[in-house]
Structure 1
Amino acid sequence: MLLLIPLLLCLIFPPSTILSLNQEGLYLYHFKLSVDDPDSSLSSWNDRDDDPCNWSHVKCDSVTRSVNSLDLSNTNIAGPLPVSFLCRLRNLSYLSLFNNSINSTLPLDISMCHSLFHLDLSQNLLTGTLPHTLAHLPNLRYLDLTGNNFSGDIPDSFSRFEKLEVLSLVSNLLDGIVPAFLGNISTLKMLNLSYNPFLPGRIPSELGNLTNLEVLWFTQCNLVGLIPNSLGKLKKLRDLDLALNNLFGSIPSSLTELTSVYQIELYNNSLSGELPSGMSNLTSLRLLDASMNQLSGTIPDELCRLPLESLNLYENRFEGELPESIANSPVLYELRLYGNKLKGKLPKNLGKNSPLRWIDVSNNQFSGELPASLCDKGELEELLMIYNFFSGKIPARLGACLSLTRLRLGYNRISGEVPAGIWGLPHVYLLELVGNSFSGSIARTIAGAANLSVLIVSNNSLTGAIPDEIGWLENLMEFSAGDNKLTGTLPESIVNLGQLGTLDLHNNELSGELTQRIRSLKKLNELNLANNTIKGRIPEEIGSLSVLNYLDLSQNKFSGKIPSGLQNLKLNQLNLSYNRLSGDLPPLFAKDMYINSFLGNPGLCGDLKGLCDGRDGAKDAGYVWLLRTIFIVAALVFAIGVVWFYFKYRNIKMAKRAIDKSKWTLMSFHKLSFSENEILDCLDEDNVIGSGSSGKVYKVLLNNGEAVAVKKLWGGAKKEIESGDIEKAQVRDGAFDAEVETLGKIRHKNIVKLWCCCTTRDCKLLVYEYMQNGSLGDLLHSSKGGLLDWPTRFNIAVDAAEGLSYLHHDCVPPIVHRDVKSNNILLDGDFGARVADFGVAKVVDAIGKGTKSMSIIAGSCGYIAPEYAYTVRVNEKSDIYSFGVVILELVTGKLPVDPEFGEKDLVKWVCTTLDQKGIDDVLDPKLESCFKEEICKVLNIGLLCTSPLPINRPSMRRVVKMLQEVGTENLSKSGKKDGKLSPYYYDDASDQGSVA
C-alpha cells in the first residue's frame, strides 16, 4: 500500500505541485482538499511554500523537520475525517480537531497513526460505534471524544490500552453499561463518561484498581445501587463526581480515606443516612456537594473545620445547629443549606473570616439575629434567608454591601426600620422583605437602586408616602407593597416605569386620584390597588393596557362611570366592587360571571341581580319613547360623524404638510415598489400593531395591496440630547445603526427582510416585510396557542435555527444576535419563521472574536446564558443558549420566566420536573400524543443548547442538522429510559436555592 501512495499522488496533483511540495506537504495538501474549509483556515497550505512546517496549525520537530503536531481546533472545517493521509505522517504525535463539524463515522484505520499520544476529536458530529482499533495505538495517552454522537457499547478492546491516561467520552449517545473492564487500564488518570444514556447499572467495584486515577466523572450515567467501598482505594483522586444518578444507601466511610480529593459531588441521588465520620481526614477537600438527597443527622463539626470553599447540602433532612467552626474557614465563598431542618442561631462571626459570595439558608428553622459580619469581606452577592424565624433588625453594615445582587429575607420575624443603604444598593435586582414586621418608610435612597427589577415588601408595617424616586428605577418589573400602612398619593413618577409588569399596593392608606398617564405602563400585567381611599374617576386609559389581565380597584372611593375601554382587556380577574361608581354597566360585563365584580356600587345599573333593581320599571315606558330615543341618537351620531370626518381630514392634511417640511433621507436595500410618501402617509395611531422599548410598529397597506411593517424610533437623539440624557441617545441611535448595518447586508429566507430606512434629524423609520402572524411569543403564550400544532412548532424551530446558523457560520464576519427570544421570531402567513430585531446584534470580529466584555448585558430575562450574565462575554454560544430556551418554550408551552417556577427559570424547571415527575409533566398538554417521540428528541436538543457550560453547547450548524435528522429519520431511543427522559443537568450555582 505504501508503494501505491506516491503513484496515487502523481495522478492527483500536477507535476509542478509535486516538485514544490515535500512528501508530508502532499499528504497535508490532500487532507485540505478532502475537507470543507468555509473560513479558509487552511489558506496557507499551498504549493508556494514547499515546507509545511511554515503552515498555520502545523508544528514540526526542530531537528528532523518532520510534522509532529496538527492543531485544527475551532477552525470550522467539516466533512469526513481523511485519516489515511494523516496517518502517513510517521511522526504525528499530537492531533486536535476540537470543535469542528467532522461528520460520518470514525474510520477503523485510525489505528495506523502509530505515533499518536494525543487525540482530541471532541465537539464534532461523529456517529456510529467507537472503533475497537483505537486500543491498537501503542503510544496513546490522551483520548477525548466528548460531544459527539457515538452510540453502542464501549468496546472490550479498550481494556488493552497500554499507556492511556485520559479517556473522555462525555455527552455522547453510549447506551450500553459502564463496563468493569475499564478497571484494567491501570495507567488512567482521568475517566470521564458523564451525560450518556447508559443502561441502568452499578458502579463497577473494579474501578478501585485505578490507583493512578485523579478524576472520576460519572455525572448522569444512569447509575444505580450503592457506592462501592473500593473507591476508597483511589488515593490520588482529586475529583469525584457521581451526581445526577439513582444511587442509594449511605455514603461509604471509605471515601474519608481519599486524602487527596479536592471536590466531591454527589448531588441529586437518593443517598441516605448520616455523613460518615472521619471527614477530618479530607484535608484537601475544597468543595462538597451532596445536595438533593435524603441525608439526615447533624452537620459534623469536623466537616466545618476543613478549609472548604463551597458547601452545598441543600434539600436534605439535616437537623441540629450549624457548627460555629464554619465561621473560621478562610476560603469559604459558597454556603447553601436550604430545605433542611436546621435550627439555632447562625454563627456570630459568619463572614468575618470568609470571602462569602453566596449564602442560602432558606426553608430551615434558624432563629436569632442576622450576623452583622456577613459582608465584611465585601464580596457577598446573594443572601437568601426566607422562611426561617430570624428576628431583630437588619444590621446597618449590610446596607454598605455594594456587591449584593439578590437579598431575600422574606417570611421571618425581623423588625425595625430597613437601613437606608439597603434601599439603594446599586447592584441588587431582587429585594424581598415580605412577611416581616418592618416599620418606617421606603427611603428616598431607593433612587440609587439602578438595577432593581423586583421589589417585594408586602405584609409589613411600612408607613409614609411612596417616594417620587421610585420612578427612577427604569428596570423595575414588579413592585409589591400590599398589606402595609403607606399613605399619600401614588407618585406621578410611577408612569416612567416602562418595564413594570406588577403593581400591587392593596390594603394600604393611599389617597388621591389615579393618573390618566397610566397608559404609559404598556407592560402592566397586574394592577391591584384594592382597599385604599383612592378617589376620582377610573381612567379610560386603563383600557389601552393591552397585556393587563388582573385589575382590582375594589374598596376605594372611585366615582363616575365604568370606562367602556375596559371591555378591550382580556381580564382573568376584575374587581371594582364597593366604590361609588354609577351609570350603566358596559354590555360585555353584563354576565353572571362578573356579578361579584360590581357589588357595593349603589348608582351602578345593569342586568345583573342586585344592580339598579328599579331598572325593570323603566322598560315599561313604551315603544314611542324607544323610537324617539333611537331617532335622537341617530341624529347625534350623524352630526358627530360629520364633525369627526372634518377634523380627521384636516389633521391628515396638516400631518402631510408637516411631513413634507421635513427632509427625509431614504436608503433602500432591495428594489422597492413603493415610495417613502406611501409610508409617511400611514403613520397614525390607527395603524399601530405593537410597541416596544425602541419605538412603535405600524402596519402600512401599500397602494399595490401589499403590506409592510414600519418601526418608528421617534425622538431619536435630538430629544434625549436636549434633555441632557446623552447616554440614552447613544443607545437609541446605536440600536438603529446596528439594525441597519446588520439587516441591510443579510439575504436569507429565515431573517426578516429590511426593505429600506428613512431618516430625519429627529425621526428614524425602518421598513420591514410584514409578518401576518406576529411573533412566536405572542402567539404561543396567548389563547391562540392552539393554532400551533407540533408539526408547525417543529418547522418554526428549524426555520429559526437555520436563520441563526446563517448568522454564525455564513456571515463574514459572524454575527451574534444577543437577544434571541420567542418575541423576536416572527411568523408569516404560513407560519414560516424569521429571526428579527437586531438592535443589539454584534459582529464577532469587531469585538475580538467574542471575548470582549460589553458595558451592559443585552438580552431578556430567562434567555440570558449563565456565563453572559456574570462575565458579560459575547459569543455565539450565548445565542445558542437563548435558542435552547425557545425550543423549551415550544415543547412545554410555558413562558421562560413564570411565577409557578418560583426561583427557577424555564430551564431549571424542565430539568427538575423531568427528574422528579417525568416527561409527561413537561410536555405541553395541547400537543398531540402521537408526536411524543419526536417531541422528546427536540426537547433533548433544547437541553443540549442550554447546557451550563458553553463548551458543551452544539454549534448552530450542528443544531440545524440534529433538528433535520429528527424530522427525516426515526432515530433510536437515545434520551428515554423507561418512559422517562433524562435531563441534561443545569447547574447554575448562582441561582439555586429556589424556594418560592
Structure 2
Amino acid sequence: MEGNLFIVKLCSFLSFLAFTVSQGTNPSLNDDVLGLIVFKFDLHDPKNVLSSWSEDDNSPCNWFGIQCNPRTQRVTEILLNDLSLSGKIGRGLVRLQFLRKLSLSNNYFSGTISPDLATIQSLRAVDFSGNNLTGEIPDQFFKQCGSLRYVSFARNNFYGPVPRSLTSCSSISVLNFSSNHLSGSLPEDIWSLNTLRDLDLSGNELTGNIPVGIGSSFNLRTVNLRKNQISGNLPEDIGKCLLLNSMDFSENSLTGTVPVSLQRLSLLTSLKLGKNSITGLIPSWISMLKNLEVLDLSGNMFSGEVPTSIGELKMLKSLSLSGNKFTGQIPDSLTMCVHLSEVDLSQNGLIGIIPEGILASSIERLNLSQNGFTGSIPDITGSNVFYQSVKVIDLSENGLSGKIPEAFALSSQLVVLNLSRNFLSSEIPAGIGELKELEVLDLSQNRLNGSIPLKIGAAIALTDLRLDRNFLSGGIPLEIGKLRSLGTLSLSKNNLSGPLPASLANLTSLHTLDLSFNNLTGTLPHQLGNLPHLLFLNLSHNNLAGELPMGPAFNTLDPTSLSGNPSLCGALLNRSCPAVLPKPIVLNPDSTPNSPQNSLPTTKSTSRHKKIILSISTLVAISAAALIALGVVTVTLLNMNARAHHRADGALVLEPSRSGSGSGVGSPLTSTGSGQPGKLVMFSSDKDFSVGAHALLDKHCELGRGGFGAVYRAPLPDGRPVAVKKLAVSGLVKSQSEFEKTVRSLGRLRHPNLVHLHGYYWTPQLQLLVYEYVGGGSLYSRLHEPGGKALTWLERFRVILGVARGLAFLHESCRPAVVHYNVKSSNVLIDENGEAKVGDFGLARLLPMLDRYVLSSKIQSALGYMAPEFACGSARVSEKCDVYGFGVLTLEIITGRRPVEYTEDDVVILSDSVRGALEGGRVGSCVDPRMGPAWPEEVLVPLVKLALICASQVPSNRPAMGEVVHILEVIGSPPGPKEES
C-alpha cells in the first residue's frame, strides 16, 4: 500500500516538474513553489497540516506556515514548529533565494544538514532545535554563511567537533548547539566573533580549556557551557565582557580560583559555577555585582567563611553554597538580602546558631542541613512573611535542641519539613497536622516526646511521614487512616502502645510501613493484608498477638519482620495457631441420663477434630520448610554456577594479514564499501574463532533488528553458531580505545541469565559484537507471533524470575552498575532449557555521554517500556528505569498483550488496564487465555501487584531489582491445576 502511494506521489511530482519546465513565464515565482513542493515530497505529515501546499498554485503565500514579502510576493519565512513532521530536510529549500527565516523546531526531522542551505544569501535565522538530526555539523555550512545571525541546532543528536569555520560568520549573534553530543575542544578563535551575543553549548561532551581571549567578545550577553567536561581555570579576562548578563559554567571540571576581573561585571544577574573543583575563598568584592540575582557556587571546594559583603547583594533571589568547605557562622548581613527566596547552605562546616533574621524574610526554600548548627530553632512568632511564603524547610543533621516552634503550624504553603537527626525534645506541635500542602514530614532521630497529634489526619497531602527513633508514647491515632496519599509511614523505635488501628487499611498508597520496636498490642487487622502496594512491612519487637492476616502483603514477608512478637502465629512464622475448640458444656446435676443437656461429643468425634487440625498445621509447616529449602538450594546452585563461569579475560586477537587474503585466524575482515581491514578479538584463548564478513552481510542470515543494529547468525569453524550484532551507532562511537575498553568490560560479565558476549570486531566504519547463539528465540516471538506453542504458567514465571536475576546482577554485582535502558520482550531470549537470557545490556555505554535524547532516537521500539523520566529533562535516569521496564515486561508475560495497543478509537496502556482490573477484583480476566486454567490465583495477585509497583510513575516508589528477586523467590511458583502435556 505504501509503495503504491509512493508511486502515485512520484508520478504527480514528475508531472509537476514537466509542467514547471514547460512554463516560460514568471520563472522566479515558480522557484518558490517548486522548492517548497520538493521539500514537502520528503516529509511525512501525520496531521496533514501541509494540505494547503499544492503544486497547482502559482504562489505559496497563502500556504500554511509560509510568509511572503507583500511587495515582491517572494517567500521570506517558513515557520513549521511543533507539527510532528518527520523526514529529511531536503535541498529543495535552496531554491528559495529570498528566504530570511527557517524554523522547523520540535518535530521529528532526521538525517543530516545539507551545507547547501547556507548558500541562501538572504538567510538570517535557522532553528532546527528539538529534532532527531544527526551527523557532524558541516564545517562548510559556516564557510558560506552570508549574513546568518541566529542558529539553533539544540536538542538533536549531532556529534563531532564544533565547526572551526564558525568564525567566518561575522554577523552571527545567537549560537545554540546545546544538548547534543559534540566533542573536542572549543575553537581557539571563537571569541573573535564580535557580534556574538548568546552562546549556548551546554549538555555536550566538550573537553579542553576555555580558550583565551573571551574579553574580545565584548558584545557577549549570555554564555552557557554547563554540563560538559571542560577543564582548566576560568578565563582571567572575562571581566572585559562588560555587557555579560548570564554566565553558567556549572557541571564541568574547572579548577583554580575566581578571577579578580569578574568584579567588573556589574550587569551580571546570574553566576553559576556549581559542581566543579574551584578552590579558594569567596572574594569580598562579590558585593560589586550589584545586579546579581542568582549565585550558585555549590559542589566545589570553596573554604573559609561566608563573607559579610554578600549581604550587599540587594537583588539576590537564589543563593546556593552547598557542598563546599565553608566554616564559621552565617553572617547576619545575609538578612539584608530582602528578595531572597532560595537559600541552600547545606553540607558545609557551618556552626553557631541560626540567625533569627533568616526566618523573618520571605524565603520559600531554606536548606541548612548537614552542618554543625546548635541552639534552638528561632521562634519568630511575629513573622507572618516567612510562615506565609516558606515551602521547604530542611534543618536536618545538625545539633539543634529545644522545641519545634509552634509557629511552624502557620506555614500554610509548607510542602517539606525535615528536622531529622537533631536533639529536639519537645512535643510535636498539634497544628502541624493541619497543614494541607505538607507532603514530607521528617522528625526522625530526635528526642521528641508526647503523642502523635490527633489532627495529623488533616494533612491530607502527606506522602512521607517519619517519626521514628524518638520517645513518642500513646497510641497510633485512628485519624492517620485519612492520609490516603501516604507512601511511607515510619514510627519505629518509640514507646507507642495500644492496638493497630484498623484505619491503616485505608492507606492504599502505602509501600513502606515500619512500626518495629514499640509496645503495640492486640491482633493485626485482617484488612492490613490487602494493602495493594505494600513492599516493606516491619512489625518486629512489639507485643502483637493472634493469627497473621491473609493477603499479598504477608505472602511475601520476611519472617524477621515479625520477630519479637511471641504470641503471633501463622504459617509464615512456622507457628501453629491454637485450635478453636467448642465451649465447655456444663452438666445439670438434676437432669436425667438421657437428657439432652448431658450429651457429650464422642471420643471419635473429638479425635477426628484434632486430627484435622494437626494435619493442616503439619501440611503448612512442611510446605513452608520445603519452600525455604528450595530457595536455599536454588541460590546455592546459582552461586556455584556463577563461580564456575568466572574466569580471567584472556583475549585472542586476530590481526589482519599483510596479504589481505585468507579466511582463517588472522585473516582480514572488510566492511562494505570501506575496504579497510579490521581487528577481530575473541574473549577465549582456548578456541580459534573466525567469522567471515560475507556471512554477516548475507540477508539470509539475519535474525532480527533493534535500536542498536541488526543481528545475524554465523557459524564458527567447529560448527557451533554465534549471533553477530552489526552496530548501527557507528557514528556515535567515540574512539577505538573507548570502544574496546567498554566491550571488554561487558565481555567479563557472566551470569546464567545474561547473553554472553564472546568478542568483537572493529574498523572505524564497522563495529560488530559476537554473542552466544540462543536457539529458543525471543520472548516476544513466543508471546506474540503465531505458530508457536504457548508458554505455560511455570515457564512464564521462570522467565520473569530469570530476567529479574539478570537485571539484579547488572545493577548490584557490577561496579559501576550497568543500566540496561532497553528492557523489552524482544531483548529477552529463551534457551533450549527454557531459561531466560537478557540481551543488549550495556550497549548504551558505547555512546559518548549517553543522554535521553540519544535513547529516544535509538530505542524507538521500546514504546511502553520506557520510564516517564525520559520525558523529563530534570529527572535522573538510573537503574529505576530498568525496574519500570521489568514491571511492564512482567505484565506482558502474564497477559500475553503488548505494552501499548491501538484500537480504532483508543490507545490502551497495558499497566492502566491491569491496574483497573485489579482494583475491580477482575485480575483473573487479564491472564493470557492461551495458558488455559493452569495458573495459581494465590500467586497471580501478588505478582501483578509487584509488577504494578515496579511500573510506578514515581522512581522512588520502585523497588531495587535485588528486592524484586527476593520477593519473587518468596512468592515461588507453586503448582496450580495439573498442566496438560
- Tell me whether the two structures share a fold, i.e. TM-score over 0.5: yes
Aligned to 2:584: none
Give the gaps of 5 or more residues in structure 1.
Answer: 1-5, 568-575, 585-628, 642-748, 754-768, 809-817, 845-885, 907-923, 925-996
How far off is 1:403 after superposition? 1.3
User: In the alignment, which residue of structure 2 is the partner of 1:260?
Assistant: 267
Q: How does 1:955-974 map to 2 (within 5 A)?
A: none
Q: Which moved more, 1:332-341 or 1:148-157?
A: 148-157
Q: State the alpha-carbon separation in 2 of the partners of residues 634 and 537 from structure 1.
A: 20
Deviations 1:625-675 (A, max 9, x none): xxxx9999699989x99xxxxxxxxxxxxxxxxxxxxxxxxxxxxxxxxxx
Distance 1:77 1:554, change over 3 A: closer
* Structure 1 partner of 2:789: none
Separation in 2 of the partners of 1:105 and 1:783? 38
Cα separation, 1, equivalents of 2:67 and 2:289: 43
Candidates 65, 75, 92, aligned match of 1:67: 75
Q: Following TM superposition, by how much is the alpha carbon of 1:493 offset from its aligned partner in structure 2, in angstroms?
A: 1.2
> Aligned AA for 2:561?
D
Deviation (angstroms), 1:153: 2.4
Question: Which residue in the other structure is 1:80 paired with?
Answer: 88
Aligned counterpart in structure 1 of residue 369 of structure 2, from 362, 372, 375: 362
| 1:299 positional shift | 0.8
Q: 1:434 aligns with which of 437, 444, 457?
A: 444
Query: For the residues of structure 1 that align with 2:843 and 2:256, how far apart are their CA atoms?
Result: 46
**Within 5 A, what are the aligned runs for 1:821-860?**
822-826=886-890, 834-835=898-899
- Given that 2:863 and 2:900 are in contact with CA atoms closer than 8 Å, whether structure 1 keeps it comes out as no
Contact 1:351/1:374, CA 8 A, preserved across alignment:
no
In 1, Cα distance between the equivalents of 2:169 and 2:433?
62
Q: Which of these residues, 480, 488, 503, is aligned with residue 493 of structure 1?
A: 503
1:343 is matched with 351
1:96 Cα deviation from its structure 2 partner: 0.7
Aligned with residue 159 of structure 2, among 127, 132, 151: 151
- Write the distance in 1 (CA, Å) between the matches of 2:348 and 2:55: 69
**CA distance in structure 2 between the aligned counterparts of 1:353 and 1:538, rounded to whole angstroms:** 55
Task: For residue 189 of structure 1, report the CA deviation from its aligned partner.
Answer: 0.4
Identity %: 30
Q: In the aligned structure 2, how far is the partner of 1:284 from the partner of 1:775? A: 63
Q: Give the secondary structure class of the aligned counterpart of 1:128.
A: strand
Tell me the equivalent position of 2:746. Answer: none
Alignment of 1:375-454 (within 5 A): 376=386, 378-454=388-464
After superposition, residues 52-63 of structure 1 pair within 5 angstroms as 52-63=60-71
Give 1:167-316 correspondences, 5 Å limit. Answer: 167-198=175-206, 200-306=207-313, 307-316=315-324
Shift of 1:781: 4.9
User: What's the CA shift string for 1:126-162, capped at 9, x where partnerless?
Assistant: 2332222333222111011112232322233211211
Q: Which runs of 5+ in 2 are unaligned?
A: 1-12, 580-606, 620-779, 785-791, 810-834, 845-854, 868-880, 909-946, 966-981
**What secondary structure does 1:391 align onto?**
strand
State the one-letter code of the partner of 1:435.
Q
Deviations, residues 60-85 of structure 1 (Å, cap 9, x unaligned): 123222211111112222222223x3
CA contact (8 A) 1:205 1:231 kept: no
Aligned counterpart in structure 2 of residue 472 of structure 1, from 482, 485, 501:
482
In the alignment, structure 1 residue 545 sits paired with structure 2 residue 604: no
Shift of residue 334 of structure 1? Answer: 0.9
> Structure 1's 422 and 782: CA in aligned 2 closer, same or farther, altered over 3 A?
farther
Counterpart of 2:887, as a letter, is N
Q: Provide the rounded CA distance (Å) in 2 between the counterparts of 1:99 and 1:774.
A: 42
Q: Cα distance 1:514–1:148, how it changes in 2: closer, same or farther (>3 A)?
A: closer
Partner of 1:664: none
The secondary structure found in structure 1 opposite 2:263 is helix
Give the equivalent residue in structure 2 for 1:46: 54
Cross-structure match for 2:465: 455
What letter matches 1:834 in structure 2? R
Output the CA distance in 2 between the equivalents of 1:827 and 1:417: 46
| Other structure's SS at 2:95 match | coil
Question: Of the candidates 897, 901, 909, which is equivalent to residue 956 of structure 2?
Answer: 897
SS at match of 1:518: helix
Shift in alpha-carbon separation, 1:807–1:30, aligned structure 2, 3 A: farther
Pairs within 5 Å for 1:538-617: 538-539=547-548, 541=550, 545-549=554-558, 551-556=560-565, 558=567, 562-566=569-573
Q: Which amino acid aligns with 2:176?
A: S
Residue 47 of structure 1 deviates from its aligned partner by: 4.3
Give how far 1:506 is off: 2.7
Amino acid at match of 1:141: R
Aligned counterparts of 1:242 and 1:795: Cα–Cα separation in 2: 30
- The answer to whether the 8 Å contact 2:133/2:157 transfers is yes
Asked if the contact 1:774/1:827 (under 8 Å) is kept, the reply is no
1:96-111 → structure 2 map (5 Å cutoff): 96-111=103-118
CA contact (8 A) 2:201 2:224 kept: yes
Tell me, what secondary structure is at the counterpart of 1:270? coil
Task: Tell me whether 511-520 or 240-249 shows the greater mean CA deviation.
Answer: 511-520
Name the amino acid aligned to 2:274: Y
Give the Å deviation of 1:414: 1.7
Q: Report the Cα distance in structure 1 between the residues aligned to 2:561 and 2:20, rounded to whole angstroms.
A: 81
Q: 1:286 deviation in Å?
A: 0.6
How far does residue 538 in structure 1 lie from its aligned partner after superposition?
3.3
The alpha-carbon distance between structure 1 residues 38 and 633, as it changes in their structure 2 partners (threshold 3 A), is same
Q: Per the alignment, in what secondary structure is the counterpart of residue 194 of structure 1? A: coil
Task: Provide TM-score, normalisation by structure 2.
Answer: 0.60
Q: How does 1:630-709 map to 2 (within 5 A)?
A: none
Structure 1 position 15, deviation (Å): 7.0
Task: Give secondary structure in 2 for the equivalent of 1:32.
Answer: helix
Shift of 1:435: 1.6
- The question of whether the paired residues in 2 share the 8 Å contact of 1:68 and 1:94 is answered with yes
Q: Any idea what SS the aligned residue of 1:490 has?
A: coil
Distance, in Å, in 2 between the alignment partners of 1:375 and 1:771 is: 63
1: CA distance, partners of 2:413 / 2:214: 44
Shift of 1:280: 0.9
Residues 372-419 of structure 1: CA distance to partner in whole angstroms, max 9, x if unpaired? Answer: 348626232211111111222222221121211111100112222211
Aligned-pair CA distance for 1:838:
11
- Cα 1:543–1:234, aligned 2, differ >3 Å: closer, same or farther? closer
1: distance between equivalents of 2:397 and 2:865?
48
CA distance in structure 2 between the aligned counterparts of 1:407 and 1:481, rounded to whole angstroms: 17
Query: Cα gap change, 1:522/1:105 in structure 2, threshold over 3 Å: closer, same or farther?
Result: closer
CA distance in 2, matches of 1:103, 1:78: 7
Residues 543, 566 of structure 1: 8 Å contact kept: no
Highest Rg: 1 or 2?
Answer: 2
Shift of 1:318: 0.4
Give the TM-score taking structure 1 as reference length. 0.59
Are 2:547 and 1:483 aligned? no
Deviations 1:657-707 (A, max 9, x none): xxxxxxxxxxxxxxxxxxxxxxxxxxxxxxxxxxxxxxxxxxxxxxxxxxx
Asked if the contact 1:216/1:239 (under 8 Å) is kept, the reply is yes
Give the superposition deviation at 1:807. Answer: 13
Query: What is the root-mean-square deviation in Å for CA atoms of aligned residues?
Result: 4.5
Is the 2:511–2:957 Cα contact (8 Å) retained in structure 1?
A: no
Summarize the Cα distance change of 1:202–1:524 in structure 2 as closer, same or farther, 3 Å threshold: same
Distance 1:249 1:12, change over 3 A: farther
Paired residues, number: 658
Aligned to 1:663: none
- The offset of 1:16, in angstroms, is 10
Q: Is the 8 A contact 1:261 1:285 kept in 2?
A: yes
Which letter maps to 1:442?
A: I
Q: Is the 8 A contact 2:310 2:333 kept in 1?
A: no
> Displacement, 1:461?
2.0
Q: CA deviation at 1:505?
A: 2.3
Alpha-carbon displacement from aligned partner over 1:872-922 (angstroms, at most 9, x marks no partner): xxxxxxxxxxxxxx9xx99xxx99327999xxxx9xxxxxxxxxxxxxxxx
